[in-house]
Amino acid sequence: MALSYDDLIHQAFAARERAYVPYSGFMVGAALLTREGKVYTGCNIENAAFTPTNCAERTAFFKAVYEGERRFDAIAVVGGMSGTQAGAFPYTFPCGVCRQVMAEFCGEDFTIIVAKSPGDYKLFSLRELLPEAFGPGDLDH
């Protein structure tokens, strides 16, 4: 993999700037790395009806899948309230719905990078964050 986790986290921070969050003020960015080394970024996009809100992770996945991508290595996720200063970011974990979307397209070894900054992050496998997932294989018959 030519791209480092640091690079991916930087791209997630840049994507976070695009967040549309008039309701929560919580800005999230994601950077999704394909097996071939391409990156698709996403931000969260909220809605006055709340339910249609799309998380940053799903924005990145849906952009990538639309472009024909099906094989992914890792995703970096960064989040924090608008105005959060460097050094004060929390770790932001993907919500359950986003984990399920990951399970649709990624194997259990897919890497989820939860970052406070490019130098401060934790790594998880999809296996760890969504054990015993229901996935495409369950509909094979």
Q: Which residues bind ligand THU (CB under 6 A)?
A: 21, 24, 26, 28, 44, 46, 53, 55-57, 77, 79, 92, 94-95, 98
Could you say which of 57, 67, 69, 128 is catalytic?
57
Nearer to ligand THU, 46 or 73 (CB): 46
Our answer to whether residue 46 is catalytic in this structure is no
- Cα separation of 126 and 130, whole Å? 6
Helix (H, G, I), strand (E, B) or coil at 33: strand
| Shortest separation between residue 23's beta carbon and ligand THU, angstroms | 7
Nearer to ligand THU, 98 or 115 (CB): 98
| Shortest separation between residue 38's beta carbon and ligand THU, angstroms | 21
CA dist 13 → 30, 91, 106, 132, 138 (Å): 8, 13, 23, 31, 35
What would the DSSP string read from start to end of 60-102? Answer: HHHHHHHTT---EEEEEEEEEETTPPTT-PPP-PPPHHHHHHH
Return the ∠ at Cα 22 (arms to 20 and 23), rounded to 5°: 120
Nearer to ligand THU, 24 or 100 (CB): 24
| Shortest separation between residue 120's beta carbon and ligand THU, angstroms | 17
Nearer to ligand THU, 37 or 82 (CB): 82
Helix (H, G, I), strand (E, B) or coil at 114: strand
| Shortest separation between residue 86's beta carbon and ligand THU, angstroms | 19
Residues annotated as part of the active site: 57
